[in-house]
Amino acid sequence: MVEASAAPAAPQAAGALPAAQAKVLELVNQARAAAGCPALTANEKLTKAAQDHSADMAAHRNMSHTGSDGSDAGQRITRAGYQWRTYGENVAYGYSTPEQVMEGWMNSPGHKRNILDCSYKEIGIGLAQPGQYWTQDFGATR
């Protein structure tokens, strides 16, 4: 049994996310803290939407915000059961480490805007093989 840290700066329980996704969450929250935004917490429904989208992109070897079924991020997040007021999505392909994918996103104005959007409260992070297909789904509930 793994015990979760009770540290207030750690919004996600230890062991609740795979290591790569947990590291992305840590890096996202470091960037948000530097920008004066509150930390995001991992949300199970957003994580499902993100992981399912990463798996879909990997299965079809196609990086896109549009799923192979024609769905957009809002539809996928809703389908996962998340009742959003606002949402955003970042996708990436080919980065082998959390540090590399975060550097790529932070060097892209649109992706950086999503990461540093203080209106988002929760996040889901997906990663699928082959090819390192990454998804971040951001949200705030109604």
Q: Cis omega before residue 98 (within 30°)?
A: no
Q: Which domain holds residue 134?
A: 19-89+99-141
Strand partners, 88: 138
- Give the pLDDT of the chain (142 residues) as one tens digit per residue: 323 323 333 344 435 789 999 999 999 999 999 999 999 999 999 999 999 999 999 999 999 999 999 999 999 999 999 999 999 999 999 999 999 999 999 999 999 999 999 999 999 999 999 999 999 999 999 9
In a domain, 68, yes or no: yes
In a domain, 38, yes or no: yes
CATH code where residue 69 lies: 3.40.33.10
In a domain, 2, yes or no: no
- The pTM is what? 0.88
